Amino acid sequence: MSAWWHRHEDVRTWVALSPALLLVGLLFGGAVVMAGLRSIGLLGIGEGGPSLAAYRQLVTDPGFARSLGLTLYVAVVSTSLSVVLGIGAALLLRRLGAGRRFATTLFQLNLPVPHVIGAVAILALVGQSGLLSRLAAQTGLLDAPAAFPAITFDPWAIAVILQYLWKEVPFIGIVALAILSASGDDLEEAARTLGASTWQRLRHVTLPLLLPGVLSAAVIVFAFTFGIFEVPLLLGPSSPTVLPVLAHRRYTDVDLAARPEAMAISVVITLVVVVVVLLGAAGARRAIRGDAAVTEVGS
Amino acid sequence: MTRTEPATTDAPRPATQPTTGGAGATPRPVALAVVLLLGLLLLPFVPLVLASFAQGYFYPQVLPERWSLRAWQVVLEPDGATWAALRDTVTIAVSVAVLSLVMAVPAGRVLGTRRFRGRRVVELALLTPVLVPAIAVAIGLHVVFLRLGLAGGVPGVILVHLVPATPYVVLLTAGVFANAELELEQQARALGASWWQAQRHVTVRLVAPGLAVAGLFGFLVSWGQYVLTLVVGGGRVVTLPILLFATASGGDTAITAATALFHALPAVVLLVLTSRILGSGALTTFGGAR
């Protein structure tokens, strides 16, 4: 027995992996399969054959289309701004001399803070009777909370996006900083010696260097901002609302007939995230090849 | 662009001014921009702190006219809702951390140290639950949990928190084993140690700090979880995020602010302590999981 066990490394490998894989397979796989089956009317409460009624309903519902649009808009805008500002912050922090480590620690302080807290804090800052509104009133810029621009619960979901930036700019920034400090500045020095301007160095050396890692991080940010529930629930517009909130609303509807629709929405959310993750992974692979080319040129 | 070496002499000690360096290390505009950046990122905490110590914080007061410890007294009341929520949150998060680690150690060791067929598929299978939104997992599992009698209770919430936490802890653990100098284990064996002795005296010592961090991150994934607890707990498992959301909808801004700070502080302190021990890279990895 023992000899057999030691001879078969592949068996040992899969035995070691099995607890974690079983958990993921049963719970995560189970959740996805259940949502899929119930979205086509199987295993649900109102029995009947499989049907695409829930999806037909979604396709013909203008509310769903607007919801999908809002969710994509929020995720795309938050992700793009996080990438730009995060890279900017990393380039800035890198130029600090003394105190860089302390500044970097402060920079990432928001990362472990749960999202509900971030949402409550942003509301206290930019809500209509929040701190900024109070400051504006003190300086005589406005006389009542209602005069402060409504950026909470607004159709453009500005407070929601601000909350995501508050959390994701540090994330992208830290990823970028890690790449920069791992690669050193030999390449940039070389480019400088060869007469490249600041902009040329950024455009042709630093950004290509950052691309693969930052792209992977951006995919994480997109998946996250596309799928989070509590922040838009607390800060976002209610009609249309984002898909995760809509799914939950349908799921908790007193009318149980809305449940297959909730499942269908959750299938759509999952599919969008999976497609973006696959596209991002492919893009990152291509970027790594491009990066290798840059490194070859540089060395 | 002039770059200077990181000033290691004063780096570990928090200076009051992050940017006043020696010998012209930092250009002034850079220093100002960094102060502005950090100020903006930390600004949302300011109204929370002010509101939590305010008595009747009426518009348009910026600083409260009357300061008060009322909200903190309510929040910290010995038999109050906060301590009950803290107890449930810690019970769930510690269970999630421990169970995740138990599953992650064998899996992470294999992933971190061996090449085998199907490795990429395994990694992808582990990455997906980290990225697919929790709402989809929550409503997909809720019905099953209802039938199994797991909905509305702490065990069910622990199970569902394992879905995002465990794959994440496995991936971190794989990194820990990949970076550990496990050759030392072979050397111990060569010098006559038994398998158990080699594990106990060599391997465990090599990987223990990394595993502790991986476990801490599992804890934090659970600590901040909202929608999984909301749906599977069905309102009967009141963790700190659930309590905070309910308080925020209730309208007492002072109590909401104090509850929020009470909930934020342990996470920040734990992670900053870890980064002190292990270098600031510890915080980096956490950004990936939420």
Torsion sign over Cα A19, B123, B178, A100: negative
Inter-chain contact A112–B286, Cβ cutoff 8 Å? Answer: yes
**Separation in Å, CA of B190 to nearest CA in chain A:** 17
Residue A244 contacts by C-beta under 8 Å, 6 or more apart in sequence? A71, A227, A228, A229, A232, A269, B133, B135, B227
**Separation in Å, CA of B79 to nearest CA in chain A:** 23
Residue A18: is it exposed, middle or buried by C-beta count within 10 angstroms (0-12/13-18/19+)? middle
pLDDT band at B177 (very low <50, low <70, confident <90, very high): very high
Model pLDDT, residue A294: 53
Q: What angle do the packed helices A158-183 and A100-107 form, to 10 degrees?
A: 140
- What's the whole-number mean pLDDT along residues A19-34? 94
CATH number of A58-298: 1.10.3720.10
- Rounded to 5 degrees, φ, ψ at A151 are -110, 5
Q: How far apart are CA B77 and CA B109, in angstroms?
A: 45
**B-chain residues near A235 (CB < 8 A):** none
Residues A135, B63: contact at Cβ < 8 Å?
no
**B-chain residues near A206 (CB < 8 A):** none
Mean pLDDT of chain A: 89
Task: Give the nearest partner residue to B107 out of A17, A266, A277, using CB atoms.
Answer: A17
Torsion sign over Cα B85, B88, B89, B90: positive
Residue A163 contacts by C-beta under 8 Å, 6 or more apart in sequence? A115, A118, A119, A122, A231, A235
Inter-chain contact A24–B129, Cβ cutoff 8 Å? Answer: yes
Pull the structure tokens for residue B235: 């309102």
Reduced DSSP (H G I as helix, E B as strand, rest coil) percent helix, strand, coil of chain B, to 5: 70, 0, 30
How many percent of chain B have pLDDT more than 90? 60
* pLDDT over threshold 50, residue B16: no
pLDDT band at B281 (very low <50, low <70, confident <90, very high): low
H or E segment at B66? strand B66-67
Which domains does chain B possess? Answer: 28-68 (no CATH), 75-286 (1.10.3720.10)
Q: What is the pTM for the complete model shown?
A: 0.89
- SS3 assignment, position B153: coil
Residue B212 forms contact with A (CB below 8 Å): no
For testing contact with chain B, the best of A8, A104, A120, A160 (most B CBs within 10 A): A120
Inter-chain contact A98–B26, Cβ cutoff 8 Å? Answer: yes
Task: Give the nearest partner residue to A185 out of B3, B166, B224, using CB atoms.
Answer: B3
* pLDDT over threshold 70, residue A299: no
Residue B260 forms contact with A (CB below 8 Å): yes
Q: Which of A93, A278, A294 is nearest to A210 (CA)?
A: A294
- Rounded to 5 degrees, φ, ψ at B133 are -55, 145
pLDDT band at B24 (very low <50, low <70, confident <90, very high): very low
Top-confidence residue, A286 or B263: B263
Long-range contact pairs involving B266-273 (C-beta distance under 8 Å, separation at least 24) = B266/B223, B267/A112, B267/A113, B267/A114, B267/B220, B267/B223, B267/B224, B268/A109, B268/A112, B268/A113, B270/A112, B270/B216, B270/B219, B270/B220, B271/A111, B271/A112, B271/B216, B271/B220, B272/A105, B272/A109
Q: How far apart are CA A96 and CA B19, in angstroms?
A: 7
Model pLDDT, residue A46: 56
Q: Dump the DSSP string for B27-41.
A: -HHHHHHHHHHHHHH
Most confident range (mean pLDDT) of A72-76, B13-17, B174-178 is: A72-76
Task: Give the nearest partner residue to A145 out of B7, B42, B59, using CB atoms.
Answer: B59
ipTM of the complex: 0.90
Q: Dump the DSSP string for B101-152.
A: HHHHHHHHHHHHH---TTHHHHHHHHHHHHHS-HHHHHHHHHHHHHHHT-TT
Task: Give the nearest partner residue to B30 out of A96, A226, A267, using CB atoms.
Answer: A96
- What's the whole-number mean pLDDT along residues A52-67? 92
Task: Give the nearest partner residue to B257 out of A124, A169, A229, using CB atoms.
Answer: A124
Task: Give the nearest partner residue to B14 out of A35, A102, A251, using CB atoms.
Answer: A102
**Separation in Å, CA of A206 to nearest CA in chain B:** 13
* pLDDT over threshold 80, residue B282: no
pLDDT band at B276 (very low <50, low <70, confident <90, very high): low
Q: CB A285: neighbour CB atoms within 10 A?
A: 12
What residue of B is the nearest CA neighbor of A217?
B288
* pLDDT over threshold 50, residue A42: yes
- What's the whole-number mean pLDDT along residues A40-59? 79
pLDDT band at A290 (very low <50, low <70, confident <90, very high): low
Owner of token pair 């509101």? B51
Inter-chain contact A269–B133, Cβ cutoff 8 Å? Answer: yes
H or E segment at B261? helix B253-278
Q: What is the DSSP-derived secondary structure letter of residue B54?
A: E
Q: Chain B, 105-164: which have a CB under 8 Å from a chain A CB?
A: 106-107, 109-111, 114, 116-117, 122, 125-129, 131-144, 159-160, 162-163
Model pLDDT, residue B285: 57
Inter-chain contact A124–B44, Cβ cutoff 8 Å? Answer: yes
- What's the whole-number mean pLDDT along residues B258-286? 76
- What's the whole-number mean pLDDT along residues B169-184? 90
- What's the whole-number mean pLDDT along residues A196-225? 91
Long-range contact pairs involving A209-213 (C-beta distance under 8 Å, separation at least 24) = A209/A179, A209/A180, A209/A183, A209/A291, A209/A294, A210/A87, A210/A176, A210/A179, A210/A180, A211/A287, A211/A290, A211/A291, A212/A284, A212/A287, A212/A288, A212/A291, A213/A175, A213/A176, A213/A178, A213/A179, A213/A284
Torsion sign over Cα B205, B210, B212, B218: negative
- What's the whole-number mean pLDDT along residues B73-91? 94
Alpha-carbon torsion angle B132, A113, A159, B139, nearest 10: 30
pLDDT for A93-122, tens place per residue? Answer: 998 888 888 898 899 889 889 999 999 999
* pLDDT over threshold 70, residue B274: yes
Q: How far apart are CA B222 and CA A119, in angstroms?
A: 18
Task: Give the nearest partner residue to A230 out of B17, B50, B226, using CB atoms.
Answer: B226
**Is the backbone peptide bond immediately before A240 cis, with ω within 30 degrees of 0?**
yes
pLDDT for B117-159, tens place per residue? Answer: 999 889 888 988 989 999 999 999 998 999 999 999 999 999 9
* pLDDT over threshold 60, residue B197: yes
* pLDDT over threshold 80, residue B51: yes
Q: Chain B, 37-76: which have a CB under 8 Å from a chain A CB?
A: 37-38, 41-48, 50-51, 59-62
Distance, CA of A181 to chain centre: 24
- What's the whole-number mean pLDDT along residues A226-253? 95
Map out the domains of chain A as residue ranges: 58-298
**B-chain residues near A96 (CB < 8 A):** 18-19, 21, 25-26, 30-31, 34
pLDDT for B228-262, tens place per residue? Answer: 999 999 999 999 999 999 999 887 899 999 999 99
Task: Give the nearest partner residue to B110 out of A13, A110, A170, using CB atoms.
Answer: A13
What residue of B is the nearest CA neighbor of A17?
B107
Q: How far apart are CA B14 and CA B204, in angstroms?
A: 32
Model pLDDT, residue B58: 87
* pLDDT over threshold 50, residue B180: yes
pLDDT for A117-168, tens place per residue? Answer: 999 999 999 999 899 999 999 888 888 888 899 999 999 999 999 999 999 9
Residue B255: is it exposed, middle or buried by C-beta count within 10 angstroms (0-12/13-18/19+)? buried
Inter-chain contact B280–A104, Cβ cutoff 8 Å? Answer: yes
